[in-house]
Structures are given as structure tokens and as C-alpha cells.
Amino acid sequence: MSKRILIVDDENYIRLLLHRTLEELELEGVEIHFAEDGVVGLEKARALRPELMLLDVMMPRMDGLQVCRAVRRDPDLVGTHVVILTAKGQAPDLAPDEAPHEYLTKPFDPDQIIARAAEVLGIDLDFEI
Amino acid sequence: MTDGPAPARGGGLFRALYLLLGVYALLVPAATALIAWLGVQGVVSPWVGLAALGAPLLLLTTATVLFARRRVARPLTELLRRIEAIARGELEGTLAIERRDEIGRLNRALNELAAYLVVAREARVDRRFLQRVIDAMPEALVVLDARGVIELHNRHFATLLGLDGSLTGVHVDSLVRNQPPGWATRVVRTAGVDNVEVDFGTADGPAITLLTSSAHLQAEDADAERTVLVARDTSAVAGLMNQLRQANAGLEESRQFFQNLFDAMEDPITVLAPDGEVMQANRAARAVFGRDVVGRRCYRAFRMRDSVCDGCPALQTYASRKSVSVEHRVFGNAITRISTYPLLGKNGEVRAIINHKRDVTKERQLEDLKANFLAAVSHELRTPLTSLKGFNKLNLRRLVRFVQPALEAAPHKVRVAFGKVLEDMQVMDSEAERLGRLVNDVLDLSKLEAGKLTLTMGEVDAGALVQGGIVATAALWRDKGLRVEAQVPEGCPPGWGDADRLSQVLVNLFSNAIKFTAEGRITAEVRVHEDVLRFTVRDTGKGIAPDDLGGVFEKFRQADGEGGAQIMKGTGLGLPICKELIRLHEGRIWVESTLGEGSAFHFTIPRADVLDDLERSIRAGPSITGL
């Protein structure tokens, strides 16, 4: 079964940027899914059980921290590695069992994102970054 | 005068004379008759008879003259001389005439007179001395007899009244102006006066106010009693009093001015005693806490509590002798800030505490608004920035990976243009990066300035901080070939601060030092002072001109770096952020520089090992406590 990445961000271009950044992983059979707010993001997370979830913080309806908390508490989603994409200084204090596995600071470096994603998914990229 | 002769009795001298005259009166007719009878009888010749008669008479007369000369004329001459001597004032010496007759009495009377004159002269000398003494007194002195008539006074009294002559014999009531009639009589007869202001003056002269006291001289005979008045001219004192009154009025005016100023303050301001008793309250404080607020305990008056409030800022100020600010969230969303300031005494002790209450709800709302606005703006800025930077980077990678190899066979012109595209896109990348940092710095600084940034205080390891800064900037200094040294003393005590924020400061100072240093080295030092740790980042760079030194901590001031394009341009907010962060640590930050030789940036933070718990809690910064 192919590996899945879920990108949750209300900004079109950020979703597009992340897609473009990670699209090379699609060549390795990785599925990339999208959600445009927290509520849809959580639904899709539960439905898809992605290996990697990239979460924006400020989103309508349900913000990234709430989504993160819900995902981390969901026993079905223990296999999901949650990355919160945050601006500098926005990292809130969360309890260890509610916190994301890691934070990546915006504006992010595409090379860094794909490198981390490949690492999390256990994929060896055969090209030089 | 024990044996003074009664004048009616005749003296011995006259008695002797009367005796002689009597003898004459008897002898002369008897002798005349005898001679006449003898002559008639012819017993004796008339010549013999005459001779017989004349011889005793001659003898008697001679005896009388001799007697008078010896007993009367000579003593009289002596007495006369003595009288003349007495008249000349030669009172000493007496005549030794021990006689009971008139001459003797005259002599005794003369001696008594001389003795009396001696006494009188001595009395006159005493009185003159006394007069000189009382004339020398700086106060007026008047002696009144039992009726209130001036018996004696000193010159000063007359001078004060503008007179040269004597006032002796004048009734003192005629000289008194501002007292009811019969004043002197009452003073003389009854209790007298003690420091009473009495206006003295002659009928036609000016009056003068004298501070008058009296003393009574008792005597057995009521008529012999005397009253002494001592009076002082108070006009000199009155001048002083007047000055004092003016000074007092000035003081009162200034007190009133400051009271008005105090009352004009819109915020409730109180002055507290060290035990929390409200000593003074301005109008606003009386309006808020009640008119009877003065005298009550602060916790009762201000917050209706029975004991000292938790985190009482006045107590903190009392203990630390520093101003303290505490904010309370009261009644829903209202926020009150209590600021306390110490009023120090001469020895540096806290004599009182000024307590300033301010409703900062609106300020906080505005700050929240600003912070939210800035957060929103920065988010809104960051999102497109992320896209710009991200897509630019993706494109760069695509160009390098896919297009560049395909262009190897392309014409020279195309390859040159392609190279320029890559260069320009690199510039776009670094500028987008800078814009990102600028957004972050603006957000940081606005948080700092709004007091929204709370430090997480704790003990910090100075050595680790310095090493962290060196490691974090390694790419920069290695790139420029600079040497970096750290000098941290062994056993350096821990500092008190927020490790992340202090690290931010050090990284900033290192980046700056590297940026402005083309060659040489960067030195980081830590020195241990009595209360603080001093960090220094020293470079061998181009230095700062004296005129620019003052402005380096201002916003958006930046100079051009040294060493080309590989160094990122700054945001102009790095040092202002450092300054704010160090200020929050109650430290100091400053710079020393010599143009062409380098700069040294210093900052201090408290030593953790010298702070007690209270100071640690105060230095944790302004806090908001809920009710």
C-alpha cells in the first residue's frame, strides 16, 4: 500500500508550493492529499491515516493545534507523523502527548521539507538535493 | 550721737565768761568804793588807790584775753580750717577736741557731718554705678514706686521713647498707649505682667511696642514696695518674625501648589507608611477609596481585605527599595496597574511608598489590538512571502537541475542570460529571506515594547551561552576566515535570565561583529562583577564613528557591512531588540568603539547567586495576576 502525505493549509498557493516541493515523492509512489481547513483535515486524516501530516496553524473553523491534538489523541492515528508549519515564535506550549512531532518554521526551505518528508517516510531519494 | 548736748543748756565756755563778768561786776564797784573811802580818809594817796584798783583789773583783763585766746579763738580757727577742708571734699581726719563746751560740740557736730558726707558720697558712687549698670542694659528698665510713678529708669528707656532727659517722677500711665487706664496701678498692685506687648510713648512722641515684664520688690511698708519693669524692643524680633511669616507663607503656597498638583492627578495616588497605613491621598484616591481613606490600612482601604494581599507591590518596594508594577485583572476585563515607588530617607531607608493606581484597560486593549494586528499582518505577510521564497527556490532548483544541462549546447548569449537569471533569482531569495527576518523582528520588537514578551527566568550558564553563540554563527565567521575566542572565567557563577533570549542577544552581537570585521578576530568575554555578569563581544572591525555611537541602539540604523555579499543584510532591528531584552533583564547594554580599531559591545545580567527569592520574583518582570 502506498504511503500518504496529507497537507492541511487554507492557502491555495502554500498547498501548491508544498505539492510542487514534494511532487518528486509521487514518483516514488507517495500519495499527496490536501485539505483546505482543519475540519476537512481531521476528517481526511481519519479516513486516510497518512504517514505524514503537514499542518498550518492559523486556519478557519479549526486551527492546526486543535487538529494536532485530535490526531495525537486518536489511537488509530498513532502512525501519523505530525509536522506543524509555524512562523517563528508561534510555537505554543503543548503537553508532550498533544504536541506535534516537530515544527518547521515558515518561510520554509523546500529542500529541507522534502528531505524531512523522505526521511519520515523512509524513502531514499536518488537525486541530489 | 550718744552724748549730744541739749542746746537749751548753756555750755561751759559761756559759764566761765559769765563768771568772769560777775567777778568784774562785783570787784569793780567794790574796789572803786574802797579806794574812794581810803582816799577820803587819807589813808592812801589817790595814785596808790588808783594803782591798787588798776593793777588787779589789768591782771584780770589780761587773764581774760589769754583765756579767750586759748580756749576760743584757736579752736575756732581749727574748726574753720576743717570746715574749709570739708567744703573741698576732704572728709577724712578729725580734730581732737575733747571738750564738753560749745567748741567741743561744734567739733563733734562737724565730725558727724563729715562722716555723714562720707556715707553720702559712697552712696552717690553706688548709685552712679547702678545707673551705669542699668544704662548698659540692652533692655529698658524702669523702677516704679508704689503709685506707679517712675522712680528710676535707664537711658535705654528714654532713648526708645525718643527722649534725652529724665522721666523720673512721671506717672507711667501717661506713657502707656494701648492699655486700659490704670494699667500701671494694676501692674504695681497685682500680679504684674509677663511678656506683654505694651506701646510706650510720650504724648507728642512716637509710640514703640515693648515686650514688657514686671518684677515686684517686696517691702514691709507697702509704700516702700517697688515694681521693676523690664521691656524689650521687639521691632528687630518683629522683623525676623515677619521674615518667618513670609517664609511660612511661601512654604504654605508651595505646599498648596503641590497639593493642587497632587489633587489634579487623574489617577488615584496615595502615600503609604511602611506598615501600609495610608498617610496621604489625592482627590482621585479619596473619590475611589472613600474620604476616610487616610489612616486606614491599604489592603482594607483598597481591596477590602483583612490582611496583606499576595504579591503586595508596596511590600516588594519596601524590601527592594525599587519601584514595582503589578497588574490586576478586576471585574471582568478591566485591568488595573498598581505602581509603587520608594520615598527614601537620608540613610537610604524607605520612609514611605507612593502608590499609583491606574486603569490600564484601554492601554492593554490597544496593545492587544496592536499585537493582534501585527500578528495578523505578519501572518498575512508571511504567507505570500513563503510562496514567493518557496516557488523561487523551486524554480532555481528546476533551472539548475533540468534547464542548465540542456543549455550546454546553446549559444553563448543564451547561457550568459541564463547565468544572470540564476544570479537575480538568488538575490530574490536572499531579499525574501531578509523580508522574512524583518517581519519576525518587527513582531518581536512590538511584543517587547508592549511588554507582551514574558521572559522565562532561570539560572543560565554564561559559558554555554557564549559557546552557543559561537556555534550558531560558525557559518558566518568561518566564511570570512575570522578567529573566534571565548574567555569565560573558571567557576563563573550562573546568571539570572532567559537562556533563549540571552542567546538571541549573543547571536545578534556575534553576527554584528562578524558583519563589520573584514579580518582579525572576535573575542567573547565574561567577567564576574559584584552583582552582575558582564558579557563583552569585541571585534577588530572597522569600528564606529563617535557621532554614530549614540544611535546604534536605535531602530533601523544600520551601517554597511564589511566583506561583500556573502553577509546577509540586517534588518536594523537587531540592536534595538537586544537593548529591550537586556532592559527586561534589568541589565545594561552599551558599546565602546575606536574607529578603525574595532568595537566592544557589553551587556550585564544579574548574578543568580546574589539574588534572594524576592528579588528573583521581582526580576521576573511585570506580571498579570487575576483575582
Report residue B25 as a C-alpha cell.
561786776
Write down the pLDDT at residue B354: 92
Q: Look up residue B261 and give its amino acid.
A: L
For B105-143, the DSSP string reads HHHHHHHHHHHHHHHHHHHHHHHHHHHHHHHH-SSEEEE
Q: Are residues A66 and A100 in contact, defined by beta-carbon separation less than 8 angstroms? A: no
Other Cβ atoms less than 10 A from the Cβ of B220: the count is: 6
On chain A, the residues whose CB falls within 8 A of the CB of B401 are: 127
Question: How far apart, in whole angstroms, are the C-alpha atoms of residue B284 and residue B288?
Answer: 6
Asked if B387 and A11 come within 8 Å (Cβ–Cβ), the reply is: yes
Strands B521-528 and B483-487: parallel
A9, A13, A114: which to substitute to probe chain B, counting the most B Cβ within 10 Å? A13
Of the pLDDT bands very low, low, confident and very high (cuts 50, 70, 90), residue B298 is: confident
What would the mean pLDDT of B499-524 be, rounded to a whole number? 87
What would the mean pLDDT of B127-143 be, rounded to a whole number? 85
Asked if A110 and B390 come within 8 Å (Cβ–Cβ), the reply is: yes
What phi and psi, each to the nearest 5 degrees, are found at residue B376?
-65, -45
Question: How far apart, in whole angstroms, are the C-alpha atoms of residue B130 and residue B212?
Answer: 21
Beta bridge partners of B525: B487, B536
Each residue's pLDDT tens digit, B332-376? 778 888 899 999 888 888 899 999 988 888 888 887 787 778 777
Each residue's pLDDT tens digit, B431-490? 888 888 788 788 777 777 766 677 788 888 988 889 888 888 888 888 888 888 888 888
Of the pLDDT bands very low, low, confident and very high (cuts 50, 70, 90), residue B572 is: confident
CA-based nearest residue to A3, from A114, A117, A92: A117
The DSSP H or E segment spanning B197 is: strand B196-200
On chain B, the residues whose CB falls within 8 A of the CB of A24 are: none
For B534-556, the DSSP string reads EEEEEE-S----HHHHTTTTSTT
d(CA B610, nearest CA chain A) in Å:
31
On chain A, the residues whose CB falls within 8 A of the CB of B397 are: 110-111
Report residue B402 as a C-alpha cell.
533540468
Write down the pLDDT at residue B440: 79
Write down the pLDDT at residue B10: 47
Tell me: pLDDT of B323 over 60.
yes
Q: Are residues B175 and B157 in contact, defined by beta-carbon separation less than 8 angstroms? A: no
Report residue B90 as a C-alpha cell.
576732704
Tell me: pLDDT of B1 over 50.
no
Residue B414's region, left for phi above 0, alpha for psi from -120 to 50, else beta, is alpha
Write down the pLDDT at residue A1: 66
Q: Name the residue of chain A whose CA is nearest to B447's CA.
A: A89
On chain A, the residues whose CB falls within 8 A of the CB of B450 are: none
Question: How far apart, in whole angstroms, are the C-alpha atoms of residue B365 and residue B360?
Answer: 8
d(CA B382, nearest CA chain A) in Å:
7
Question: How far apart, in whole angstroms, are the C-alpha atoms of residue B568 and residue B571?
Answer: 9
Q: What are the residues whose beta carbons fall under 8 Å from the beta carbon of B554, sequence distance 6 or more?
A: B576
CA-based nearest residue to B340, from B286, B259, B280, B269: B269
Q: Name the residue of chain B whose CA is nearest to A56's CA.
A: B383
For B16-48, the DSSP string reads HHHHHHHHHHHHHHHHHHHHHHHHHHTSS-HHH
Beta bridge partners of B241: none
Q: Name the residue of chain A whose CA is nearest to B381's CA.
A: A107
What would the mean pLDDT of A39-68 be, rounded to a whole number? 90
Of the pLDDT bands very low, low, confident and very high (cuts 50, 70, 90), residue B2 is: very low
Q: Which of A2-6, A102-106, B564-568 has the lowest mean pLDDT?
A: B564-568
Of the pLDDT bands very low, low, confident and very high (cuts 50, 70, 90), residue A52 is: very high
Report residue B625 as a C-alpha cell.
495576576
Report the range out of A107-121, B94-108, B520-534, B611-625 with the highest average pLDDT: B520-534
Write down the pLDDT at residue A90: 56
What phi and psi, each to the nearest 5 degrees, are found at residue B396?
-55, -45
Residue of A13, A88, A109 with shortest CB distance to B387:
A13
Each residue's pLDDT tens digit, B299-310? 888 888 888 888
Asked if A88 and B440 come within 8 Å (Cβ–Cβ), the reply is: yes
Q: Which domains does chain A have, with CATH numbers?
A: 4-88+98-118 (3.40.50.2300)
Q: Name the residue of chain A whose CA is nearest to B382's CA.
A: A107
Write down the pLDDT at residue B100: 78
A15, A17, A113, A125: which to substitute to probe chain B, counting the most B Cβ within 10 Å? A17
Q: Name the residue of chain B whose CA is nearest to A113's CA.
A: B390
Q: Are residues B353 and B318 in contact, defined by beta-carbon separation less than 8 angstroms? A: yes
The H-assigned helical ranges of B524-612 are: 546-549, 574-584
What would the mean pLDDT of B540-552 be, rounded to a whole number? 83
For B394-454, the DSSP string reads HHHHHIIIIIHHHTTTS-HHHHHHHHHHHHHHHHHHHHHHHHHHHHHHHHHHHHHHTT---
Cα B277 to Cα B91, B267, B274, B314, B351: the distances in Å are 87, 19, 7, 11, 12
Contact of A17 with chain B, judged by CB distance below 8 Å, is answered with: yes
Beta strand spans in B284-409 (E): 324-330, 334-344, 350-359
Asked if A17 and B390 come within 8 Å (Cβ–Cβ), the reply is: yes
The DSSP H or E segment spanning B212 is: strand B208-217
Per-residue b or e along B341-357, where b marks 16 or more CB atoms closer than 10 Å to that residue's CB: bbeeeeeeebebbbbbb
Residue of A17, A58, A127 with shortest CB distance to B391:
A17
Tell me: pLDDT of A107 over 90.
no
The H-assigned helical ranges of B137-234 are: 155-160, 183-189
The DSSP H or E segment spanning A81 is: strand A81-87
Question: How far apart, in whole angstroms, are the C-alpha atoms of residue B259 and residue B263?
Answer: 6
Write down the pLDDT at residue A23: 87
Asked if A108 and B390 come within 8 Å (Cβ–Cβ), the reply is: yes
Residues of chain B that touch chain A, judged by Cβ-Cβ distance less than 8 Å: 378-379, 382-387, 389-391, 393-394, 397, 401, 432-433, 436, 440, 443-444
Of the pLDDT bands very low, low, confident and very high (cuts 50, 70, 90), residue B281 is: very high
Report the range out of B219-223, B259-263, B546-550 with the highest average pLDDT: B259-263
Contact of A11 with chain B, judged by CB distance below 8 Å, is answered with: yes
What phi and psi, each to the nearest 5 degrees, are found at residue B316?
-65, -40
Tell me: pLDDT of B627 over 70.
no
What would the mean pLDDT of A25-29 be, rounded to a whole number? 86
Contact of A88 with chain B, judged by CB distance below 8 Å, is answered with: yes
User: Cell 532591528 appears where?
Assistant: B573
Q: What are the residues whose beta carbons fall under 8 Å from the beta carbon of B470, sequence distance 6 or more?
A: B484, B486, B510, B524
Other Cβ atoms less than 10 A from the Cβ of B209: the count is: 18
Write down the pLDDT at residue B283: 92
CA-based nearest residue to B291, from B299, B276, B281: B281
Q: What percent of chain B has pLDDT over 90?
A: 10
Beta bridge partners of B605: B533
A106, A112, A126: which to substitute to probe chain B, counting the most B Cβ within 10 Å? A106
CA-based nearest residue to B159, from B147, B151, B167: B167
User: Cell 547561457 appears where?
Assistant: B415
Residue of B386, B391, B444 with shortest CB distance to A108:
B386
Write down the pLDDT at residue B625: 37
Q: What percent of chain B has pLDDT over 70?
A: 92
Q: Name the residue of chain B whose CA is nearest to A88's CA.
A: B440
Tell me: pLDDT of B593 over 60.
yes
Tell me: pLDDT of B412 over 80.
yes
CA-based nearest residue to A98, from A123, A77, A120: A77
User: Cell 518528486 appears where?
Assistant: A24
Asked if A107 and B432 come within 8 Å (Cβ–Cβ), the reply is: yes
B374, B378, B383, B429: which to substitute to probe chain A, counting the most A Cβ within 10 Å? B383
Q: Name the residue of chain B whose CA is nearest to A13's CA.
A: B387
Tell me: pLDDT of B535 over 90.
yes
Asked if A108 and B379 come within 8 Å (Cβ–Cβ), the reply is: no
Residue B343 DSSP SS3: strand
Write down the pLDDT at residue A110: 80
Of the pLDDT bands very low, low, confident and very high (cuts 50, 70, 90), residue B8 is: very low
